[in-house]
Amino acid sequence: MTYDENEARTDRMMDKLQDLGLSFDPKTNSVTAAEGVDVNNLPNSIALNGAADGQGRWYGMEEFESEIVECDDLVARTGSNPKKPFQESYDARKKLEQMRVEIETKRCLAMVEGGKGEEGKKLIKVAQAQVGRLEYRLGKIALDCEEGSVKCLEHIVHGCFSNMFGSEAFSRVADMGEGDQKGKGGKKLSELIGYSEGEGEGAGCSAPVEEKVEALNTAAIAYANKEKLDLSLELLEVAELLYTNVGSEKRGGPRLESLHTSTLFFFAQVYGLVQNPRMSCLYCARTTHRQLTQSVKMEGGELNVDETSLDVEDWVKNVMTLAKYYHNNGENRQAEHCLAACGAICGLFTNAAKGFGAEGGKGAFEGMTARSMEAVSGKVEREKGEVYLGVLNSCSEAMLYKQAGVERGGGAGEAGKGGALVVDYGEVLGGLSSERSFMEFAGGELEKKVEEFVSANDDKGLYELGKSVFLAANGCIDRATKFFELDGFVTDHIELCLLKANAYKILSLFESEEKRKQAMNLKRVQCIEGLMDKGINETAYAGLIKTLVHEIGSGYMDMFDLKSERVEGKTKRNPTYVIKRAEAAKLNELCLQAVYWFSYFLKLYVPTDSMPKDFELMKGEVDDEAADAVLAKIYFVDVDETLGYLAAHFKIARLLSKVMQDFAGEDLGKENVIKALKRSLSRFDFIIRCVAAMDKKGEYGDCIKGFQQQLEICEQMKELLPQKIDRVFHLNAQFLGAA
């Protein structure tokens, strides 16, 4: 084209632009639009600027596809050079930007020249769709190269959406993205975007549905990162509708199926951010079910896994999170089903990993060893144990209400609620061969146990049902403990031992015979007492040691109370009954063991040398043989632990008030009883002074309110104990105590 021809064409274009309400300044190389002009249906400024001095070009369908495949391959190789981790993406972006300028320039010239008939209009429409597909890739590159949500959305929304989904959809997204009130009313995005099968197809005008879904997913992530969560959910809703409305014969492609799984996963994340746990849980369940369906198959007796679709450890972690949610919500059938699926997967992959060396397997099994799968299995068994233990606890509560003749909403029935499964992992796992059949322990057995429990009336039946749930919990805890050994897994091992102790504690509630109750409580203590001889660092594991020591003390106290009730029962039935020396000695042994461990608990709150003057009243020298007269100072106890701290003092005081005369020694044990009663009195007095000082400080309102009942008993015992001490001294009487 000659200079004169080019100048004439430029003049014609200027006139056309002016007719469209646009003005072009060649000096600044910029385009501006007059007020009221809808720029969404016009070429962007990049193309108009290029159109002033360039010709641009059309891309045929095959050539365009070939070029973008080349760009996609470049992006896929990103990261191959550690020194320039994003170089391939940058090269792809440069090529995509050049294609966009060429297409937009040609499109601009065609628009200002009138489109040259139907063929020209069709080419313009094809170019618009092509630009949308280019912008979608540029947006993905911006996000992958960690250039932030703003740059990503600049391409995805302003470039891709305006060309791929139309001006109305673009306007709504842009308005909502900027927080404009115009975006909050009117039609939803799903009503503005065509998602029916076949819509927009023909002549290469429409982007593939995979690209539309991924563009929507990418925009949803970017807007979620900007805390535009309502918009993010609308975008994901459209992505889901696009997939749903694709004909079934067109589904099944690995890319579209993978993208839809991503849509469901993003739904779960965003619903979590908007504090809607039920919907987050639903989409998480659907996501994990699809991952399983798409990834795991048995072919020729061998496990076949799609290495691109399933991260085993991540999958198990997500399904265990689901199980926790269901369990906390009382939907234990759902929880049991999820954990059974985790167990089945762990069994399959553990078997597969046995043949791997220290370096692990390859593909989907990369880095996976038999040991790493044992760790995952251990976590699953622990979660299963906690679910069974939760059900056991719910059943015990329901039993206590039933025995008291009190109506209770929910109860054990609530613990087993759940109805139809949200997703059925058995559709996949039921057909897989494994050491332990999935359906064997995922068929709602727990729910059946709970239903039987609700209908049971006799004590023996209740105990047998409780025992069956206990055995399930205990088995899971034992299997988890085999992996989480104390050497290397201190926290996990202690927590598992505490779980086992708690299982025995709850089981004892189902037992009506005192001796068997005692045996269960003894087992409870034995589960954890031995840990205190293992040299666990009390500073590094302070919180766990406190829990451990307190639980040991509680176990001995419960055994003491059970035996005391038995002796008191004999005395009530026969007022002339004389307590045997062996009985008194055993009671004192249990009592002083409990005192020792609660004193140990208090000793863990180590005071320092300095203490503010206004806490002088909190000094209380407590006579304690085991703790060697430790100075107790509430000031050094965290506010949220103060109630437990005071309660431990109260338990010690109460136990000491119940020490019995055992008829040993020259004075027949009278001196030991008096000494214990004096220590008890001192402790009750100390508690009263502590609470008074706390009340004066004004920071412990909730604690004092929660301790009110015990405080009243302390004040009563302060009045009664001197009289009791006097009676023991003068009358040589034996007492079980009044507190």
Q: Is residue 56 part of a domain?
A: no
Which conformational region is residue 434 in: left (phi greater than 0), alpha (psi within -120 to 50 degrees), or beta? beta
Task: Report the domain count for the chain.
Answer: 1
The average pLDDT across 522-541 equals 93
Short-list 564, 633, 635, 623, CA closest to 599? 623
Rounded CA gap, 369 and 361, in Å? 7
Judged against a pLDDT cut of 70, whether residue 671 lies above it is answered with: yes
Q: What would the DSSP string read from start to end of 426-476?
A: HHHHTTS--SS-TTTS-SSHHHHHHHHHHH--SHHHHHHHHHHHHHHHHHH
At how many degrees (to 10) do helices 459-483 and 445-455 cross? Answer: 150
The average pLDDT across 29-57 equals 56
**Which range among 35-39, 46-50, 115-119 has the greatest average pLDDT?**
115-119
Short-list 461, 303, 453, CA closest to 392? 453
Judged against a pLDDT cut of 60, whether residue 88 lies above it is answered with: yes
Say how many CA atoms lie within 13 Å of 10 toward its Cβ: 16
Where does the pLDDT of residue 12 fall: very low under 50, low under 70, confident under 90, or very high at 90 and above?
A: low
Short-list 400, 399, 391, CA closest to 462? 399
Per the structure, the complete domain to which residue 736 belongs is given by 581-739
Give the pLDDT confidence score for residue 432 in this predicted structure.
46
The average pLDDT across 677-691 equals 88
Give the bridge partners for 25, in sequence order: 30
Per DSSP, the three-state class of 196 is: coil
Residues 6+ apart with CB under 8 A from 105: 47, 50, 51, 54, 55, 56, 57
Distances, alpha carbon 663 to alpha carbons 75, 660, 729, in Å: 88, 9, 14
Give the pLDDT confidence score for residue 356 in this predicted structure.
62
Q: Is residue 164 part of a domain?
A: no
Cβ count near 664 (within 10 Å) = 13
Q: Is residue 302 part of a domain?
A: no
Q: What would the DSSP string read from start to end of 502-531?
A: HHHHHHHTT---HHHHHHHHHHHHHHHHGG
Give the pLDDT confidence score for residue 36 in this predicted structure.
62
Residues 6+ apart with CB under 8 A from 704: 691, 694, 695, 711
Min mean pLDDT across 38-52, 101-115, 478-492 is at 38-52
Judged against a pLDDT cut of 70, whether residue 451 lies above it is answered with: no
Short-list 310, 313, 311, 331, CA closest to 322? 331
SS (H, E, C) 203-268: CCCCCCHHHHHHHHHHHHHHHHHCCCHHHHHHHHHHHHHHHHCCCHHHCCCHHHHHHHHHHHHHHH
Rounded CA gap, 23 and 19, in Å? 9
Q: Is residue 724 part of a domain?
A: yes
The average pLDDT across 528-544 equals 91
Q: Is residue 441 part of a domain?
A: no
* 360 in Cβ contact with 366 (< 8 Å): yes
* 634 in Cβ contact with 611 (< 8 Å): no
- Cα torsion 626, 630, 634, 639: sign: negative
Give the pLDDT confidence score for residue 19 in this predicted structure.
65
Give the pLDDT confidence score for residue 3 in this predicted structure.
43
**Which range among 67-76, 79-88, 587-596 has the greatest average pLDDT?**
587-596
Strands 302-305 and 30-33: unpaired
Q: Is residue 618 part of a domain?
A: yes
Rounded CA gap, 731 and 538, in Å? 46
Q: Is residue 699 part of a domain?
A: yes
Higher pLDDT: 658 or 172? It is 658
Higher pLDDT: 442 or 262? It is 262
Short-list 514, 512, 618, CA closest to 558? 514
Judged against a pLDDT cut of 90, whether residue 151 lies above it is answered with: no
Alpha helices (runs of H) in 354-444, residue ranges in sequence order: 370-404, 412-415, 426-429
Where does the pLDDT of residue 517 fall: very low under 50, low under 70, confident under 90, or very high at 90 and above?
A: very high
Q: Is residue 374 part of a domain?
A: no
* 412 in Cβ contact with 456 (< 8 Å): no
Phi, psi of 302 (to 5 degrees): -115, 150
* 428 in Cβ contact with 320 (< 8 Å): no
* Burial label, 640 (beta-carbon count in 10 A; 0-12, 13-18, 19+): exposed
